[in-house]
A and B are shown apart, each in its own frame.
Chain A
Amino acid sequence: MRNWILPENISDVLPREARQIEAMRRGILDLFGRYGYELVMPPLVEYVESLFVNDDPALDLKTFKLVDELTGRQMGLRADITPQVARIDAHILNRQGVTRLCYTGSVVNTRPDGILSTREPRQIGAELYGCADIAADVEVIELMFESLALAGLGQVRLDIGHIGLFHALADAAGLNGEARDEVFLALQQKDLPTLRSATARLDPAIAQGLTALPTLYGNVDVIGRARASLPALPAVVAALDALAQLGDALAARGIAIRFDLAEVRSSDYHTGLVFAAYAPGFANAVARGGRYDSVGEKFGRSRPATGFSLDLREMTRLPFPAAKPAILAPAGEAPGLLAAIRALRAAGETVVVDLGVDPAEAGCDRRLVGGQGDWRVEALA
């Protein structure tokens, strides 16, 4: 039996990737800190009831479950940290004003998002609670851009959508259950043929609006086209106003965006604006986020909320500088040796004591030589 084989879509993080992930993690957490986001560390496992917000069958399916032997209740391994942080804001911190929280950690998925995706993404993200204004979304998106730039993704394409559009139209049409799911899925896939047949028996204005959504993507004139082709329901108008306002605010910060009004894809808990960043060479979005204003309700306190997250492991596909070469030092307690090693390490050098290492494997390009209290560094042949 090959007992060292790991399960499907589960892998070790080896030195090169680990170094990159750790450097990005530190850089991004420091960035969050400079914006006033406080780090929290929710648990790996908790009762399933608090892991899912609202009815989230997709997240439920993605969550590994086990039975708590202390209580007999069902626990889940977190598949997404965002609901945990919402729980902390709503029920644990109980602050009245705006709360900014950030987090990082592994999440585990029962099924990979795609054949090539890991089942153990390393999620990092930031969430802003207590502010319903567009300014909160702008800050979160700005932070997402800076995080991606830190990871080495300077060129990304930002797509913005609004889930409220679909819900407003579906509510107006009285779509429920399977019919609503079918339209939702068709929108997700910009599947116009299915969308046409699924909406054929609805009110013509609503049906026209739903079938127009997949064609409403592109630059800022999408908003104008949307106002012309979507029925002027109050929720629709509000959503379009929010999108236009967000577009202006981001343009003022030099962030170029695209609108995709059929973007209904993020997690089931999203309720309003949703956004996703795409980058050349990545077949999926590299970062995602959006508004989930009603999430705290389940935890006893509904608060406006917006945030984003990304998977650090995905980012290891970006180039990353090699580790700084190390210095090989002899083992033992020769006079002056320990002090010389300590001084080099204090100066930021990596010093590897020779306990039988292969200098190339250990990444050494120099060595510490000398004796009798006189030590110097020379190049390794």
Chain B
Amino acid sequence: MITIALSKGRIFEETLPLLAAAGVVPAEAPESSRKLIIGTNRDDVRLIIVRASDVPTYVQYGAADLGVAGRDVLIEHGGAGLYQPLDLEIAKCRLMVAVQNGFDYQGAVQQGARLRVATKYTDQAREHFAAKGVHVDLIKLYGSMELAPLVGLADAIVDLVSTGGTLKANDLVAVEHIRDISSRLIVNQAALKLKEEQIQPMIDAFAGAIGH
């Protein structure tokens, strides 16, 4: 049995064509069924639906053999115990620094003062500002980061930006690009070794579907 961990929404939708290339069609849609374990047309493949940030954890401990996780999530997780052989080039977005419109970000950064940064991605934010030589106080938030600069909780935020619509609606501007994000196929290390005959064809099918 091969278990694939996916998160609802964009990643699930954009993984469907890749699964189809591997001959796997889910029996139900997660949005409508509310089931957390979803069967497929293949007896030996099932899907589990977990939170995006939990996908690497499920795969690391072998609760799932394969998974699809954003690079943002993988960097925060650290990647221990995982193989990440493919960039699936889906669920693309950018990790950016954003501030309230009118805030003098370049000035604040050059001054040498400590910057208050609200983010869900503390590891990447810490590394980004350390590389710039800027001291920051990180405030870990789990959602609605855009609010933090507006209510004076933080000077800047580090967040994923895909269309920029949310930033604009909240009078924020992106001031710095940290990295491009897309989703990776991740594989449990022991699973690849023990179930190579089942897993390798699936990796090859995914690779074929994205043109690698």
Which bucket holds chain A's interface residue count? 20 to 34
What is the 8 Å Cβ interface bit string for chain A, positions 220-262, against chain B (1 contact, 0 not)? 0000000000000000000000000000000000000010100
Instruction: Provide the residues of chain A in CB contact with B194, threshold 8 Å.
Output: 157, 278-280
- What's the minimum C-beta distance from B188 to chain A, rounded to whole angstroms? 7
A286's closest neighbor in chain B, by CB? B190
Instruction: Provide the residues of chain A in CB contact with B85, threshold 8 Å.
Output: 190-192, 214
Is B80 an interface residue when CB atoms closer than 8 A count as contact?
A: yes
Is B87 an interface residue when CB atoms closer than 8 A count as contact?
A: yes
Within 8 Å by CB of A218, from B60, B87, B196, lies B196
Within 8 Å by CB of A284, from B57, B81, B84, lies B81
Instruction: Provide the residues of chain B in CB contact with A258, threshold 8 Å.
Output: 193, 196
What is the 8 Å Cβ interface bit string for chain A, positions 174-193, against chain B (1 contact, 0 not)? 00000000000100011111
- What's the minimum C-beta distance from B98 to chain A, rounded to whole angstroms? 25
B57's closest neighbor in chain A, by CB? A115
CA distance A260 to B196 in the complex (A): 12
Contact B84 A190 (CB under 8 A): yes
Is A4 an interface residue when CB atoms closer than 8 A count as contact?
A: no
Q: Which secondary structure dominates chain B's binding surface?
A: mixed
Known: A193-B184, A283-B60. A157 touches B193 (CB 8 A): yes
Contact B87 A283 (CB under 8 A): no
Is B79 an interface residue when CB atoms closer than 8 A count as contact?
A: yes
Is A116 an interface residue when CB atoms closer than 8 A count as contact?
A: yes
Within 8 Å by CB of B86, from A185, A192, A217, lies A192
Contact B184 A284 (CB under 8 A): no
What is the 8 Å Cβ interface bit string for chain B, positions 183-208, against chain A (1 contact, 0 not)? 01001111001101000000000000
Is B62 an interface residue when CB atoms closer than 8 A count as contact?
A: yes
Instruction: Provide the residues of chain A in CB contact with B81, threshold 8 Å.
Output: 114, 283-284
Within 8 Å by CB of A278, from B57, B83, B84, B190, lies B190
Within 8 Å by CB of B190, from A192, A214, A218, A285, lies A285
Instruction: Provide the residues of chain B in CB contact with A280, threshold 8 Å.
Output: 194
Instruction: Provide the residues of chain A in CB contact with B83, threshold 8 Å.
Output: 189-191, 214
Known: A114-B61, A116-B61, A283-B60. A191 touches B84 (CB 8 A): yes
Instruction: Provide the residues of chain A in CB contact with B60, threshold 8 Å.
Output: 114, 283
Is B148 an interface residue when CB atoms closer than 8 A count as contact?
A: no
CA distance A217 to B85 in the complex (A): 13
Is B82 an interface residue when CB atoms closer than 8 A count as contact?
A: yes
A117-174, CB < 8 A from B = 157, 159
A155's closest neighbor in chain B, by CB? B194
A284's closest neighbor in chain B, by CB? B190
The number of residue pairs between A and B whose CB atoms lie closer than 8 Å in the complex comes to 53
Instruction: Provide the residues of chain A in CB contact with B184, threshold 8 Å.
Output: 193
B188's closest neighbor in chain A, by CB? A283
Which bucket holds chain B's interface residue count? 20 to 34
- What's the minimum C-beta distance from A303 to chain B, rounded to whole angstroms? 31
What is the 8 Å Cβ interface bit string for chain A, positions 281-292, against chain B (1 contact, 0 not)? 011110000000
Instruction: Provide the residues of chain A in CB contact with B82, threshold 8 Å.
Output: 189
CA distance A373 to B125 in the complex (A): 82
What is the 8 Å Cβ interface bit string for chain B, positions 80-113, against chain A (1 contact, 0 not)? 1111111100000000000000000000000000
CA distance A284 to B194 in the complex (A): 11
B54-94, CB < 8 A from A = 57, 60-62, 79-87
- What's the minimum C-beta distance from A83 to chain B, rounded to whole angstroms? 23
- What's the minimum C-beta distance from A183 to chain B, rounded to whole angstroms? 14
CA distance A258 to B195 in the complex (A): 12
Instruction: Provide the residues of chain A in CB contact with B86, threshold 8 Å.
Output: 192-193
Contact B79 A189 (CB under 8 A): yes
- What's the minimum C-beta distance from B15 to chain A, rounded to whole angstroms? 17
- What's the minimum C-beta distance from A177 to chain B, rounded to whole angstroms? 15
A83-140, CB < 8 A from B = 114-116
Instruction: Provide the residues of chain A in CB contact with B79, threshold 8 Å.
Output: 185, 189, 191
Query: Which of B62, B85, B86: most chain A Cβ within 10 A?
Result: B85
- What's the minimum C-beta distance from B167 to chain A, rounded to whole angstroms? 27
A196's closest neighbor in chain B, by CB? B87
B79's closest neighbor in chain A, by CB? A189
CA distance A62 to B153 in the complex (A): 37
B18-76, CB < 8 A from A = 57, 60-62
CA distance A190 to B184 in the complex (A): 12
Within 8 Å by CB of B193, from A191, A193, A260, lies A260
Query: Which of B82, B84, B188: most chain A Cβ within 10 A?
Result: B84
Instruction: Provide the residues of chain A in CB contact with B196, threshold 8 Å.
Output: 217-218, 258
CA distance A278 to B196 in the complex (A): 12
CA distance A69 to B100 in the complex (A): 55
Contact A283 B61 (CB under 8 A): yes
- What's the minimum C-beta distance from A50 to chain B, rounded to whole angstroms? 28
Within 8 Å by CB of B61, from A115, A189, A191, A217, lies A115
- What's the minimum C-beta distance from A228 to chain B, rounded to whole angstroms? 19
Residues of chain A having any CB pair with chain B under 8 Å: 114-116, 157, 159, 185, 189-193, 214, 217-218, 258, 260, 278-280, 282-285
Q: A217-B196, A258-B193 are in contact. List 6 more A-B contacts (CB 8 A).
A: A189-B83, A190-B85, A193-B87, A214-B83, A278-B194, A283-B61
9 residue pairs from A and B, CB less than 8 Å apart: A114-B60, A190-B187, A191-B83, A217-B196, A260-B193, A278-B190, A283-B61, A283-B62, A285-B190
Q: Which 7 A-B pairs have the closest CB atoms?
A: A283-B62, A193-B87, A190-B83, A278-B193, A191-B84, A278-B190, A190-B85
